[in-house]
A and B are shown apart, each in its own frame.
Chain A
Amino acid sequence: MLRWLTLPFVVGCTLLVVNSARGDERASAAQLAARIDALLEQHWQTEGIQLAPRADDAEFLRRAYLDLNGRIPRVSEVREFLSNDAPVKRAQVVEQLLDSPRFAVHFANVWRAELLPETMADRGAGVFRVGFEAWLQDRARAGVAYDALVRELLTAPIAQDGQGAEPVLRDPVRPNPLAFYAVKDAKPENLAAAVTRTFLGLRMECAQCHDHPFAAWSQDQFWQQAAFFASVQRQGAGMFAPLVETVAVRHVTPPEKDVAQAATFLVGDEPDWSREPSPRAMLAAWITARDNPYFARAGANRIWAQFFGRGIVEPVDDFRDDNPPIHPKLLEELAQAFAASGFDIRYLMRAICLTDAYQRSSVRTDASQDRTALPARMPLKSLTGEQFFDSIALATGYRDQQDKGAARRLLQTRFARGAAAVDPETSVQQALTLLNGSFTDWAANIDECPTLVAIDSTPGLTLDEQIDGLYLAVLGRLPAPTERAKIATVFDASPEEDRRLLLADVFWALLASAEFRMNH
Chain B
Amino acid sequence: MHRFDRLTRRSVLRATGHGAGAILSSTWLSRLAAQAATAPDRQRACILLWMAGGPSQLDTFDLKPEHANGGPIRPIETSVSGVQFSEHLPSLGRQAEHLAVVRSMHTKEGDHGRATYHLRTGYVNQGSIRFPSLGALLAKELGDLDADLPSYVSVLPQRAFSQVAVSAGFLGPRYAPLVVGASGDELRVEDLGSRLDAPRRAERRLQLLGDLETNFLSGHSGAATDGHVTAYDRAVRLQRATAARAFDLNQEPDALRDRYGRGHFGQGCLLARRLVERGVSFVEVTLDGWDTHDNNFEQVKTLSGALDAGWSTLIEDLNSRGLLDSTLIVWMGEFGRTPAINPRAGRDHYAAAWSVVLGGGGIRGGQHIGRTSPDGMQIE
A residues at B contact (CB < 8 Å): 114, 117-118, 120-126, 184-185, 190, 193-194, 197-198, 205, 238-239, 317, 362-364, 380, 382, 413, 416, 418-420, 422-433, 435-438, 441, 444, 480, 482-483, 486-487, 490, 501-502, 505-506, 508-510, 512-515, 517-518, 520
Contacts and interface: CB of A to CB of B under 8 A. Distances in A.
Nearest to B173: A427
A418 B133 CA distance: 13
B243 to A, nearest CB: 11
A193 to B, nearest CB: 6
B117 interface: yes
A185 B124 CA distance: 12
Q: For the complex, would chain B's binding face be called helix, strand, loop or mixed by DSSP majority?
A: helix
Interface in B162-188: 162-165, 167-174, 176-179
B220 to A, nearest CB: 6
B114 interface: yes
A347 B273 CA distance: 58
A380 B127 CA distance: 27
Interface in B201-247: 201-202, 204-205, 208-209, 211-213, 215-217, 219-225, 227-232, 234-236, 238
10 contacts: A121-B113, A122-B113, A123-B162, A126-B113, A197-B127, A362-B219, A423-B223, A427-B176, A483-B215, A518-B220
Nearest to A432: B191
Contact of A431 (B160, B161, B213, B231): B231
3 closest A-B pairs (Cβ-Cβ)? A122-B113, A418-B172, A427-B173
B116 interface: yes
B317 interface: no
A482 B236 CA distance: 26
A433 B201 CA distance: 17
A32 to B, nearest CB: 29
- Residue in A123, A435, A505 with the greatest tally of chain B CB atoms within 10 Å: A435
Contacts of B114: 122, 124-125
Contacts of B208: 490, 505-506, 508-509
B205 A508 contact: yes
Contacts of A437: 190-191
Contacts of B195: 436, 438, 441
Interface string B112-132: 111011000000011111100
Nearest to B167: A416
Contact of B164 (A120, A380, A520): A120
B231 A426 contact: yes
Contacts of B224: 380, 382, 422-425, 514, 518
Contacts of A515: 213, 216
B194 interface: yes
A338 B201 CA distance: 54
B222 A380 contact: yes
A441 B117 CA distance: 33
Nearest to B161: A123
A363 B220 contact: yes
Question: Among A239, A413, A436, A482, which residue has the most Cβ atoms of chain B within 10 A?
Answer: A436
Given A364-B219, A436-B195, A510-B212, 19 more contacts: A117-B130, A118-B125, A118-B126, A121-B125, A122-B114, A122-B116, A193-B127, A197-B127, A363-B220, A364-B222, A424-B224, A425-B172, A425-B173, A426-B230, A427-B174, A431-B235, A482-B215, A483-B212, A513-B213
B219 A429 contact: no
B366 interface: no
B171 A418 contact: yes
B191 A194 contact: no
A520 B217 CA distance: 12
A420 B238 contact: no
B369 interface: no
A437 B189 CA distance: 11
A488 B174 CA distance: 35
Given A194-B128, A364-B220, A122 B111 contact: yes
B220 A512 contact: no
A433 B190 CA distance: 8
Contacts of A501: 201
A305 to B, nearest CB: 14
A123 B189 contact: no
B263 interface: no
B150 interface: yes
A362 B201 CA distance: 32
A418 B213 contact: no
A505 B168 contact: no
Nearest to B171: A418
Nearest to A482: B215
A515 B219 CA distance: 11
